[in-house]
RNA sequence: GCUGGCUUAGCUCAAUUGGCAGAGCAGCUGACUUGUAAUCAGCAGGUUGUGGGUUCGACUCCCAUGGCCAGCUCCA
């Protein structure tokens, strides 16, 4: 049938595969395939007939290949050998291909309903795909019609055909698609171009794709948003339509249920429900007010952080919340961030609320002549910072205009950088461990040479050196990390600890940065052992990051059930009837003396009602006090997960609470109490 | 800042095509004295975010604006 030369590949299952060397080419004027090439498309590529995909069902059949970690679809000629994994729909590696093909189906459907639409890009993403479009107005009420059109298209079981075309042919074929034309021109005349065709819908695309759209099942359009063309805010904003896509409807449903479940723990909802913070339109956007409960949580974390920092050799400072603009001009922040600083004009003087602490610590350092014998100097401050974030950026406690950073700056010699960097890392890992935060990843945030001089200080040698330094340390101590170009600070690379919120949105929780630029700008020096002036290195670091963001993460991590030592109200006391009020009040006093935060509810309401009324506060322990408890000097302890333990001796309960408080224990030590109760 | 959605009592939500703003919870008053997630009855609660406009008449339609939510962009 073909004159294909055979390229032999080793497969994990020992199957030999052959591939045709010749590819179908389109008729350049119409975009149609020449008839003699038709048999080369689709599913004729495997020599083992039992493995051939069929249009009717791809279940258990090969749909794509992975050769040396690169994905190929079955329509693409293979030009090099290697270890091959044959992928079926069941393989995890296939899912992005499936989603990408589904994106094309959606585009096809939209084209039939909105013929004037102009397509940009439509990639697979986690959990689904999106397509960016122009010249179209959509709203959620269009979703059903689009989904229905997609179903209709899928029923046709179109093959997904692949074509290689020249630069000129591509320009002609996509002449009505301005965004595709821009992509083609950017790829240039020398890059091989391909497009895919299903039914009468064609799309410029590198692939890979499923050989047929028949198996596409579990999808749901879910979100409409604006997105800048090529991710640049100066470009036109396009319409982005997001969809979820899974192999089948049950997995789609499972995912939707899971997400709904997760979103119930949004700190922005339950943080307010727990009465940790509020917002007030008169105060302003991005300026949350912590209630007394939120303040208790913050103060407790702060105590932990500052205690550990002192142990780690940090010197705590208190520096001004504003400074003359000259300070930020010296640091370079003015050039980079002037627009997002709060600037205050006072007579002839220009001030700004501080957006970071570093120059203040540098001023302290520079207030004396420093010897190498003093280094490293480790400054730390629980620092209030102000950043005028864009109005669309604010989010609960995660992104705000005023926040409190567990900030710190280590000024050290070049030789001390590795040790100090490692200590910073260990300190923040210690905090993450105590708080039992596990959903984080390390990101080595590097500069982008393309933006040298504008976004980043133009000193390639120093960038290379510090990034290597960081990479070496991380590798040496076996921390796995991803590298991200263009995510550095303007003065140096960062190790960012990234986390995600309940919506899966990624944010930086903690950061350690090596700074080679600001010591120069602030003319920081020390005298070395040879009586020579040297320039120190600065490490910027955060212990727990910003308290507001950390509280948000904790609320989501614990679903509001903060550990005993962090819970705003730790214990609530409920006398069963009002003759026990005095006794309950006595207990309250006793617990307060022990240092716990206690609520005593003596309202003349039913016990059930009073218990119900504190459920939203998620108090770890409710103590029900009846005549029996008073007579035996015991407690009936109800935990917030609704377990009831009767007959707990008061002193044992107090001891257990102290234990949890002192050791920052995560679990309410119900088992300990129980043991005491039954012994 | 941009795109889309939303904005009604303290909270959660109703109110047909433009035709008298309504309920539950919370609050207050009274009765009940309570054993582990809502005792009963009554009362009160609003310039429908704000400012304009269209209309005999606007919660409803239009314009502007504040705020909230998701996404994009940004994040020292």
Residues A159 and A121 occupy one common structural domain: yes
Furthest CA-CA distance within chain A: 98
Residues A426 and A532 occupy one common structural domain: yes
Q: Which nucleotide is nearest to A505 (CA to C1')?
A: B71
Of A586, A595, A614, residue with least CA distance to A661:
A595
Residue lying closest to nucleotide B74, CA to C1': A390
- How many separate domains does chain A show? 3
Q: Which nucleotide is nearest to A508 (CA to C1')?
A: B75
Residue lying closest to nucleotide B37, CA to C1': A612
Question: Which residues are bridge partners to A224 per DSSP?
Answer: A241
Task: State the DSSP code for A667.
Answer: S
Query: Tell me, in Å, how far CA of A610 is from C1' of B38?
Result: 9
Q: Which nucleotide is nearest to A616 (CA to C1')?
A: B37
Query: Tell me, in Å, how far CA of A627 is from C1' of B62?
Result: 67
Give the HSE-up count for residue A118: Cα atoms under 13 Å, Cβ half-sphere: 15
Does some domain include residue A416?
yes
Residues A598 and A546 occupy one common structural domain: no
Residues A537 and A640 occupy one common structural domain: no
Torsion of CA A342, A346, A347, A348, to 10 degrees: -50
Query: Tell me, in Å, how far CA of A656 is from C1' of B68?
Result: 42
Does some domain include residue A347?
no
pLDDT beneath 70: ranges in chain A: 1-60, 78-83, 667-679
Q: Which nucleotide is nearest to A338 (CA to C1')?
A: B76
Find the CATH number of the domain harbouring A672: 3.40.50.800
Residues A507 and A587 occupy one common structural domain: no
Domain boundary among A557, A586, A604: A557
d(CA A180, CA A173): 10
pLDDT for A237: 94
Residues A502 and A588 occupy one common structural domain: no
Which bases of chain B come closer than 7 Å to a protein CB? 1-5, 26, 31-39, 66-76
d(CA A135, CA A647): 71
Does some domain include residue A251?
yes
Residues A91 and A48 occupy one common structural domain: yes
pLDDT for A80: 64
CB atoms within 10 A of CB A390: 11
Query: Tell me, in Å, how far CA of A501 is from C1' of B71?
Result: 15
Q: Which nucleotide is nearest to A355 (CA to C1')?
A: B76
3-state secondary structure A344-392: EEECCEEEEECCCCHHHHHHHHHCCCCEHHHCCEEEEEEEEEECCCCHH
Q: Which nucleotide is nearest to A487 (CA to C1')?
A: B75
Residues A601 and A508 occupy one common structural domain: no
d(CA A428, CA A510): 8
Concatenate the DSSP letters of all residues of A282-296 into one string.
Answer: TT-TT--EE-HHHHH
Q: Which nucleotide is nearest to A268 (CA to C1')?
A: B69
Question: Which residues are bridge partners to A403 per DSSP?
Answer: A385
Q: Which nucleotide is nearest to A388 (CA to C1')?
A: B75
Query: Tell me, in Å, how far CA of A45 is from C1' of B5?
Result: 48
Residues A532 and A636 occupy one common structural domain: no
Alpha-carbon A647 to chain mean position = 46
Query: Tell me, in Å, how far CA of A121 is from C1' of B2?
Result: 19
Does some domain include residue A281?
no
Find the CATH number of the domain harbouring A230: 3.30.980.10
Q: Work out the angle between the directed axes of helices A292-311 and A547-557 (0-180°, nearest 10).
A: 110
Query: Tell me, in Å, how far CA of A60 is from C1' of B8?
Result: 55
Query: Tell me, in Å, how far CA of A503 is from C1' of B11?
Result: 24
Residues A472 and A519 occupy one common structural domain: yes
Find the CATH number of the domain harbouring A525: 3.30.930.10
d(CA A11, CA A85): 6
Query: Tell me, in Å, how far CA of A393 is from C1' of B63?
Result: 26
Of A55, A223, A214, residue with least CA distance to A146:
A223
Query: Tell me, in Å, how far CA of A158 is from C1' of B65?
Result: 51
Q: Which nucleotide is nearest to A629 (CA to C1')?
A: B35
Q: Which nucleotide is nearest to A227 (CA to C1')?
A: B72
d(CA A483, CA A441): 11
pLDDT for A249: 93
3-state secondary structure A161-216: EEEEECHHHHHHHCCCCHHHHHHHHHHCCCCCEEEEEECCEEEECCCCCCCECCCC
A327: part of which helix (H) or strand (E)?
Answer: helix A325-331
Residues A135 and A30 occupy one common structural domain: yes
Does some domain include residue A340?
no
Residue lying closest to nucleotide B39, CA to C1': A606
Residues A123-148 have pLDDT tens digits of 999 999 999 999 998 888 889 899 99
A461: part of which helix (H) or strand (E)?
Answer: helix A460-476
Does some domain include residue A219?
yes
Residues A479 and A589 occupy one common structural domain: no
Residue lying closest to nucleotide B38, CA to C1': A609
Residue lying closest to nucleotide B69, CA to C1': A395
pLDDT for A16: 41
Does some domain include residue A501?
yes
Q: Which nucleotide is nearest to A540 (CA to C1')?
A: B76
Domain boundary among A557, A582, A606: A557
pLDDT for A87: 83
Query: Tell me, in Å, how far CA of A139 is from C1' of B60?
Result: 20
Structural domain of A31: 1-263
Query: Tell me, in Å, how far CA of A395 is from C1' of B59?
Result: 29
Query: Tell me, in Å, how far CA of A561 is from C1' of B29?
Result: 36
Query: Tell me, in Å, how far CA of A635 is from C1' of B2?
Result: 58
Q: Which nucleotide is nearest to A395 (CA to C1')?
A: B69
Does some domain include residue A444?
yes
d(CA A533, CA A3): 75
> How distant, in Å, are the alpha carbons of A109, A117, A153 from that of A112?
5, 10, 10
Query: Tell me, in Å, how far CA of A392 is from C1' of B27?
Result: 36
């Amino acid at each position: 049938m073909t004159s294909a030369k055979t390229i032999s590949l080793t497969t994990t299952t020992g199957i030999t595969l052959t591939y045709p060397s010749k590819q179908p080419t389109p008729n350049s004027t119409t975009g149609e395939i020449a008839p003699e090439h038709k048999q080369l498309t689709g599913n004729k590529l495997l020599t083992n007939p039992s493995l051939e995909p069929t249009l009717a069902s791809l279940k258990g059949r090969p749909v794509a290949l992975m050769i040396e970690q690169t994905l190929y679809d079955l329509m693409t000629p293979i030009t090099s050998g290697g270890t091959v994994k044959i992928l079926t729909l069941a393989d995890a590696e296939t899912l992005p291909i499936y989603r990408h093909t589904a994106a094309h189906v959606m585009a096809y459907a939209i084209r039939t309903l909105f013929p004037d639409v102009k397509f940009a890009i439509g990639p697979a993403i986690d959990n689904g795909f999106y397509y960016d479009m122009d010249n179209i107005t959509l709203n959620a009420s269009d979703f059903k019609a689009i989904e229905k059109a997609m179903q209709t298209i899928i029923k046709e079981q179109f093959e997904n055909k692949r074509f290689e075309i020249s630069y000129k042919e591509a320009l002609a074929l996509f002449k009505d698609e301005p965004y595709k034309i821009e992509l083609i021109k950017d790829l240039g005349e020398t890059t091989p171009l391909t497009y895919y065709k299903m039914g009468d819908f064609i799309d410029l695309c590198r692939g890979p794709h499923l050989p047929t759209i028949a198996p596409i099942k579990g999808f749901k359009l879910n979100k409409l948003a604006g997105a800048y063309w090529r991710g640049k805010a100066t470009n036109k904003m396009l319409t982005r339509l997001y969809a979820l896509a899974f192999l089948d409807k049950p997995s789609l449903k499972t995912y939707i249920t899971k997400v709904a479940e997760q979103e119930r723990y949004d700190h922005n909802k339950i943080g307010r429900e727990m009465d940790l913070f509020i917002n007030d339109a008169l105060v302003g956007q991005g300026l949350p007010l912590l209630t007394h409960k939120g303040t208790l949580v913050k103060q407790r974390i702060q105590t932990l952080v500052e205690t550990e920092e002192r142990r780690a050799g940090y010197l705590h400072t208190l520096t001004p919340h504003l400074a003359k603009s000259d300070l930020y001009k010296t640091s370079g922040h003015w050039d980079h961030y002037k627009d997002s600083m709060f600037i205050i004009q006072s007579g002839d003087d220009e001030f700004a609320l501080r957006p970071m602490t570093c120059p203040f610590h540098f001023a302290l350092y520079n207030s004396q002549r420093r010897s190498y014998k003093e280094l490293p100097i480790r400054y730390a401050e629980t620092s209030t910072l102000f950043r005028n974030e864009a109005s669309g950026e604010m989010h609960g406690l995660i992104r705000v205009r005023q926040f409190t950073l567990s900030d710190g700056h280590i000024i050290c010699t070049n030789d001390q950088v590795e040790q100090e960097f490692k200590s910073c890392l260990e300190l923040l890992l210690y905090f993450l461990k105590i708080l039992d935060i596990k959903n984080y990843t390390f990101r080595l945030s590097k500069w982008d040479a393309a933006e040298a001089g504008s976004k980043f200080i133009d000193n390639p040698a120093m960038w290379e050196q510090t990034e290597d330094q960081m990479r070496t340390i991380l590798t040496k101590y076996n921390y796995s990390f991803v590298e991200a170009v263009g995510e550095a600070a303007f003065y140096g690379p960062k190790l960012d600890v990234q986390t995600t919120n309940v919506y899966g949105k990624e944010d930086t929780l903690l950061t350690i940065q090596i700074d080679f630029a600001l010591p120069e700008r602030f003319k920081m020096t020390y005298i070395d052992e040879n009586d020579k002036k040297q320039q120190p290195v600065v490490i910027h670091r955060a212990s727990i990051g910003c308290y507001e963001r950390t509280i948000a993460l904790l609320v989501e991590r614990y679903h509001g059930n903060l550990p005993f030592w962090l819970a705003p109200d730790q214990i609530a006391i409920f006398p069963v009837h009002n003759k026990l009020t005095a006794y309950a009040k006595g207990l309250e006093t006793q617990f307060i003396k022990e240092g716990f935060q206690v609520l005593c509810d003596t309202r003349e309401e039913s016990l059930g009602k009073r218990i119900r009324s504190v459920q939203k506060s998620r108090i770890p322990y409710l103590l029900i006090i009846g005549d029996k408890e008073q007579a035996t000097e015991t407690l009936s302890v109800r935990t917030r997960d609704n377990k009831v333990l009767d007959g707990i001796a008061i002193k044992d309960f107090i001891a257990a609470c102290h234990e949890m408080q002192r050791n920052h224990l995560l679990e309410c030590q119900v088992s300990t109490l129980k043991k005491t109760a039954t012994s």
